[in-house]
Amino acid sequence: MLRDFLEMGGYATYVWSSYAVVLVVLAGMLIASLNALRARDSELKALEERVGGRRQRRNQGRVEEMANDA
């Protein structure tokens, strides 16, 4: 019964290779896309912290300047 199923009427190589190829490509696309998304999200986060920190300092400087001017 199980053996009949696995043998696919003598076409096991062709049938199972087809399903394997589809599975590998589908899974590969998902993994690659999720990995890329995760990497970019963390890159953006790091960048925002760095840029945000610098801006804050710059803005702070400006506030102090304004205070001195006044």
Partner 1 sequence: MNWFHWFANPARFMRLAARLQPWIMVLGLATGAAGLYYGLFDSPPDYQQGETVRIMYVHVPSAWMAMFVYTMMAVAAASFLIWKHPLADVAAQAAAPIGAGFTLMALVTGSLWGQPMWGTWWVWDARLTSVLILFFLYLGYIALVNAFDDPERGSKAGAILLLVGAVNIPIIKFSVDWWNTLHQPASVARMDGPAIDPSMLLPLMLMAAAFKLYFLYLLIVRMRGELTARRIRLLRLSDAA
Distances (CA, A) of 47 to 55, 56, 58, 61: 12, 14, 16, 21
- Nearest one of 42, 41, 46 to 54, comparing CA atoms: 46
Which residue of 1, 2, 29, 64 would you call a contact of partner 1, by CB under 8 A?
A: 29
Which one among 36, 57, 58, 63 touches partner 1, defined by CB under 8 A? Answer: 36
Residues interacting with partner 1, by CB under 8 A?
5, 8-11, 14-15, 17-19, 21-22, 25-26, 28-30, 32-34, 36-37, 40-41, 43-44, 47-48, 51, 54
